[in-house]
Amino acid sequence: MAKIVCVLYPDPQTGYPPSYARDSIPSITRYANGQTAPAPHDLGFKPGELVGCVSGELGLRAYLEGLGHELIVTSDKDGPGSELERHLPDAEIVISQPFWPAYLTPERIAKAPKLKLALTAGIGSDHVDLEAAAKAGITVAEVTGSNSISVAEHVVMMVLSLVRNYLPSHEIAVKGGWNIADAISRSYDVEGMDFGTIAAGRIGLAVLRRLKPFGLKLHYTDPHRLPAEVEKELELTYHPDPVSLVRAADIINLQMPLYPSTENFFNDALFAEMRRGTYLVNTARGKLVDRDALVRAVKAGIIAGYAGDVWFPQPAPPDHPWRTMPYNGMTPHISGTSLSAQARYAAGTLEVLQNWFEGTPIRDEYLIVDGGRLAGTGAKSYKLD
Ligand code: NAD
């Protein structure tokens, strides 16, 4: 029987919720690209419940224990004495979420000789060292598509919040003030601005589609060019490289995966190419942006506002400079784990586990590493160097 270690974020500080703001969530069965939503059998939770935290257990316990497997659920993931490290030597499967990542470094992979499957309950498997996983014959899979629209909606929210100066204006209202001139001295309309996304995969394209009605001029760069009919429909300008895009944009969305050569992608050199007063939104990964170069760019006025929900490491330390730098709209990593999103990625996690234990193939689009190499979505979107 297998040992499955599932690393999830802690329960709410007020305790696991006894009730919810809404009684149900809409049922989404198909995504924009035609892909069907996860469809496992014996779903162990009611969609709309909080399953992404420790007590929610992604609703997996009944299914796994019914087969006689051992399920360990913990949020204790960092450091040599952590519960995750204690269970690594005999774990066959590690499940983790990008929001509270169980970093599977080469050193940890070496301590896990029985590990066969690293499963991301969500999207983005950069917390796993993909090269080390490939060498060790570990399959890496994620629930591609499950929270793409959740994140795209978050990006739209952050674009509007930054440009219209929503957060400081809200704070004035909460504090009993009526300082209109203070609130609007950094407030603009997005209409007519140039918006560019770096990567137009599932999320990047969904952001472009959602922003189209706002009257923005839309730009993108991606090693994979979109079909001509999509470029025409959205009136997109394609840029062959990121420098060309950042020179042309007032608002930039960062949406590419993190792999070794995209670490610190936004650095002093790239910030120097940007228009003064650019807004930057990053819901992709914190490590794509050089932490201190960003603070310098904000202070220099190159960046008029920065928002996102991704940091490194996660959880971010209390003194992380992005928490307090001017004009930031940061949140903890929440965009892809709304109650709606987690219903889909928890169902997808169960679907992959059922494939694993029932000997049926994992969907190709869920695969990142398989058979010692990048596979599926991994082969399209990631590099090992
Ligand atoms: P996707 O696989 O559909 O698309 C990724 C796109 O990135 C592909 O089109 C690929 O060609 C492009 N790309 C790869 N390298 C690039 C480069 N160097 N420059 C420009 N483009 C490049 O993935 P997706 O579902 O759109 O997700 C994108 C990323 O967003 C994920 O890898 C993850 O890091 C992040 N994400 C974050 C959250 C969250 O909760 N904040 C949730 C989901 C995904």
pLDDT digits (tens, 9 = 90+) for 99-141: 999 999 999 999 999 999 999 999 999 999 999 999 999 999 9
Contact between 80 and 87 (Cβ < 8 Å): no
**pLDDT-derived band of residue 364, with 50, 70 and 90 as boundaries?**
very high
**How far apart are alpha carbons 66 and 281 in whole angstroms?**
44
**How far apart are alpha carbons 101 and 174 in whole angstroms?**
34
Helix (H) or strand (E) holding 44: none
Protein residue closest via CA to atom 4 of ligand 1: 201
> Which tokens sit at 142?
């994620």
Q: Which residues are catalytic?
A: 147, 285, 314, 333
Contact between 306 and 158 (Cβ < 8 Å): no
**pLDDT-derived band of residue 351, with 50, 70 and 90 as boundaries?**
very high
Q: Is 59 in the pocket of ligand 1 (CB under 6 A)?
A: no
**How far apart are alpha carbons 126 and 312 in whole angstroms?**
12
3-state secondary structure at position 141: strand
pLDDT, position 363: 98
Q: What letter represents residue 108's amino acid?
A: R
pLDDT, position 30: 97
Q: Which atom of ligand 1 is nearest to the CA of 199?
A: 21
Q: Is 226 in the pocket of ligand 1 (CB under 6 A)?
A: no
pLDDT, position 96: 97
Q: Is 198 in the pocket of ligand 1 (CB under 6 A)?
A: yes
**How far apart are alpha carbons 85 and 112 in whole angstroms?**
9
Q: Is 283 in the pocket of ligand 1 (CB under 6 A)?
A: yes
pLDDT, position 233: 98
**pLDDT-derived band of residue 200, with 50, 70 and 90 as boundaries?**
very high
DSSP string over 312-332: SSSSPPTT-GGGTSTTB---S
Q: Is 196 in the pocket of ligand 1 (CB under 6 A)?
A: no
Q: Is 101 in the pocket of ligand 1 (CB under 6 A)?
A: no
pLDDT, position 376: 98
pLDDT, position 284: 98
3-state secondary structure at position 371: coil
pLDDT, position 61: 98
Q: Is 223 in the pocket of ligand 1 (CB under 6 A)?
A: yes
Q: Which atom of ligand 1 is nearest to the CA of 206?
A: 26
Contact between 350 and 58 (Cβ < 8 Å): yes
pLDDT, average across residues 331-354: 98
- Is the N-terminal amide bond of 315 cis, ω within 30° of 0? yes
**How far apart are alpha carbons 151 and 30 in whole angstroms?**
17
Q: Which one of 125, 143, 151 would you pick to mutate in the ligand 1 pocket, going by the greatest count of ligand atoms within 8 A of its CB?
A: 151
**How far apart are alpha carbons 350 and 119 in whole angstroms?**
10
3-state secondary structure at position 104: strand
Domain boundaries, the chain: 3-146+337-374, 148-323
Calculate how far, in angstroms, residue 82's C-alpha sits from the geometric centre of ligand 1.
30
**pLDDT-derived band of residue 365, with 50, 70 and 90 as boundaries?**
very high
pLDDT, position 296: 98
- In this structure, is the dihedral angle defined by the CA atoms of residues 346, 351, 352 and 358, taken in order, positive or negative? positive
pLDDT, position 59: 98
Contacts of 116 (CB under 8 A, 6+ apart): 92, 93, 137, 138, 139
Distances (CA, A) of 77 to 10, 91, 356: 11, 14, 24
Calculate how far, in angstroms, residue 101's C-alpha sits from the geometric centre of ligand 1.
17
CB atoms within 10 A of CB 121: 28
The pair phi, psi for residue 198, each rounded to 5°, is -95, 105
Q: Is 161 in the pocket of ligand 1 (CB under 6 A)?
A: no
Protein residue closest via CA to atom 14 of ligand 1: 381
> Which tokens sit at 199?
């990567």
CB atoms within 10 A of CB 275: 14
Query: What average pLDDT does the chain have?
Result: 98
pTM of structure: 0.98
Tokens 């198909």, residue located:
30
Tell the CATH topology of 148-323: Rossmann fold (3.40.50)
Calculate how far, in angstroms, residue 118's C-alpha sits from the geometric centre of ligand 1.
19
**How far apart are alpha carbons 172 and 177 in whole angstroms?**
5
Please measure the distance between the N-terminal and C-terminal CA atoms of the chain and give it in whole angstroms.
36
pLDDT, average across residues 26-49: 97
Asked, colleague to colleague, whether 3-146+337-374 and 148-323 share their fold, the answer is: yes
**How far apart are alpha carbons 368 and 377 in whole angstroms?**
6
- Is the N-terminal amide bond of 240 cis, ω within 30° of 0? no
Edge-to-edge order in the sheet of strand 303-308 = 237-238, 217-221, 194-198, 251-254, 278-282, 303-308
Protein residue closest via CA to atom 27 of ligand 1: 203
Calculate how far, in angstroms, residue 147's C-alpha sits from the geometric centre of ligand 1.
12
Tell the CATH topology of 3-146+337-374: Rossmann fold (3.40.50)
Calculate how far, in angstroms, residue 199's C-alpha sits from the geometric centre of ligand 1.
6
pLDDT, position 5: 98
Phi-psi category of residue 337: left, alpha or beta, with phi > 0 → left and psi -120 to 50 → alpha: alpha
